[in-house]
Structure 1
Amino acid sequence: MTPDPVGLVLLAAGRGTRFGDAPKLLADLDGKPLVRHAAEAALAAEAGPVVAVLGHAQDSVRAALAGLDLRLVPNPRYADGLATSLQVGLAALPEAAGGAIILLGDMPCVPPGLIRSLADAFRAAAPKPAAIVPVCGGRRGNPVLLNRRILADDLARLTGDRGAGPLLAGRTDVLEWPADGSGVLIDVDTPEMLKGLARGDSA
């Protein structure tokens, strides 16, 4: 067995209300649904098993992810906020996976190499950090690797539409990981942002 197994959770359950009436994760970017870009990057990283959490428009999102080697897990409480999807995804990972990389379905520009580097850094670290967070230009971004052993109780208590960020803000055992490129900072919230990516504005 690979030392210090790592799992990946792709959060693809949200409504994306700022994007408009159409499901954001199904919006086309370079001929693929937005969510498929994130899923393919997660798989290409070959860092561990990938769980995708579904909620809003889940049948359509499931179809958008067809043919990929993912475990698809529905979250019936997705409308209660991102915290519930995070908890559902973590629960679906193998128990042996002490590290969990949390990817967002609306971040299509995260390269597989960055995801892989987070997993490698976790496996090499001694002692293990509570989290590993990519940093670009002095700003923390995503995806984030969470140490399930250290953060389990805090993660179980999360509520609302926030992820693990507030849990990590005041901790001294978070490893900041330098990221090349701004992909770790780019999430698509509006049609205008999507059009900018299609034009290559983020390059």
Structure 2
Amino acid sequence: MDASKPRARRPATTGNPAIAIAVLAAGRSTRMGALNKLLARFKGKPLVRLAAERALATGRRPVFLVTGHMAEAIEAAAAGLEVETIRNPAFDTGLSSSIKAAIQAVPDGSIGLLVHLADMPTITTDQLAAMIDCFLAMGGHGIAWATAQGRRRNPVIIPRSLFEAVLSLDGDTGARRVLEVSGLPIHEVELGPAANFDVDTPETLAAAGGRFD
């Protein structure tokens, strides 16, 4: 499935199964020096706010904002949005701790969790919605995984059946290993360069149009 091209947006309907979204925004942003990349402005908005708004625009709920490093400033940047904040006290142990914190908050009625990294400024609402459509087409019994030119990247949708396995993760590993050995069908959603682009350095941030006030 190729979701890298614009498409007509289809809002979520109340008849669809619930899917939670986690916007991960807890990291230290160490390669940016003293600055936090998630507070850089893109199109006049802090990057973390832009990521949360795009997740919310899919119509899916709940949308979690997982914070840790500079939590107060990150949460202030997303103030007024319909997100549920989760503070991850173990954020400095790595990415898996934020994924686990979100999984533990997913309501019983949700069939999966879309994990979206907040430092990916070119991921659009339409692309997130395309991944959700793919996941729903599998009935929530598989994995929807974003690709860039066929290579698995981010975001990803984790089905409820793998939550317990993901909760066993440690460190900065993400969920890749658990997903790849799960035996569940994996449907790849081609997002193009957006799935492989994050802003980890001042150079990539500036190239993407971000700036600090």
- The verdict on a shared fold, with TM-score over 0.5 as the criterion, is yes
Contact 1:135 1:176 in 2 (8 A): no
Alpha-carbon offset, residue 93 of structure 1: 1.8
Q: 1:37 to 1:126 in 2, by over 3 A?
A: closer
Distance 1:126 1:192 in 2: 41
Paired residue for 1:86?
99
2:198 counterpart of 1:184:
no
5+ residue gaps, structure 1, are none
Partner of 1:120: 133
Q: Which amino acid aligns with 1:175?
A: I
Q: State the Cα distance separating 1:187 from its structure 2 match.
A: 1.0
Matched position secondary structure for 1:157: coil
1:1-203 equivalence runs, <5 A = 2-126=15-139, 128-129=141-142, 131-149=143-161, 151-198=162-209
Q: How many residues align?
A: 197
Q: Offset of 1:127 from its aligned partner?
A: 7.4
Using a 3 Å threshold, how does the CA distance of structure 1 residues 2 and 87 change in structure 2: closer, same or farther? farther
CA deviation after TM superposition for structure 1 residue 171, in Å: 4.6
Q: Tell me how large the CA RMSD over aligned residues is.
A: 1.8
Task: Provide the identity percentage.
Answer: 36
Q: Is the 8 A contact 2:37 2:205 kept in 1?
A: no
SS of 1:173 mapped into structure 2: coil
* Pair 58,185 (structure 1): closer, same or farther in 2 beyond 3 Å: same
1:125-171 C-alpha deviation (Å, 9 max, x unpaired) = 15711x1101221111211000122x122111100012111222345
Judging changes above 3 Å, is the alpha-carbon distance between structure 1 residues 121 and 146 closer, same or farther for their aligned structure 2 residues? same
Unmatched runs of 5 consecutive residues or more in structure 2: 1-13
- TM-score of the superposition, structure 2-length normalised? 0.86
Q: In the aligned structure 1, how far is the partner of 2:39 from the partner of 2:91?
A: 17
1:47 counterpart SS class? coil
With normalisation by structure 1, the TM-score equals 0.90
